[in-house]
Structure 1
């Protein structure tokens, strides 16, 4: 297993209070837990993945996600067993759409 950690500063969108779990590792090879957290306006993402050596791809996918959503005070945990970048983006978007404050 490889653990990757990304942090994006100065987000603009805040989430509702309830954590959200989307996907399961055995279905689509990915689960995402997203929750509000006091991070001084940042979004923190921790990825645990069985696919070693793909840090640059994860960084690109997470950077694109941050540009789309600009989340603030958010903690995201991802458990991955080989999901494609498209599945990762879909699961992240599903989680956020359920939690973005109006």
Structure 2
């Protein structure tokens, strides 16, 4: 297992939400857990992946994600079992979209 941490401080979009979980860890997939943090903490993404040696690809996908969403004061945990970059992007977008939906 490899653990990667990405931290971004330039985002402006805050998510006022309870923790949300999207996806399931299984062969070739991943889960994403999103929760709000204290003001001023930026966006922190923790990746635990079974596919070692792909840090540069993860960095590119996380940079693209943060550029599109501009998140602030949020922590994202990703548990990966070898998902492709396209699946990572899809799950991340799904997770943030669920945070933007009204809570019931």
Does TM, normalized by the shorter one, top 0.5?
A: yes
Structure 1, residues 13-56: CA drift from partner, whole Å, max 9, x if none? 11122111000002652000001011515100000000000000
Instruction: Give the TM-score normalised by the residue count of structure 2.
Output: 0.91
Q: 1:79 aligns to what? A: 79
Q: Which runs of 5+ in 2 are unaligned?
A: none
How far did 1:99 drift? 1.0
Aligned residues: 102
Runs (4+) of structure 1 exceeding 3 A deviation are none
Pick which of 41-50 and 56-65 moved more.
41-50
Instruction: Give the TM-score normalised by the residue count of structure 1.
Output: 0.93
Q: Which runs of 5+ in 1 are unaligned?
A: none
How far did 1:98 drift? 1.2
Q: 1:4 aligns to what? A: 4
- Measured on the aligned residues, the alpha-carbon RMSD in Å equals 1.6
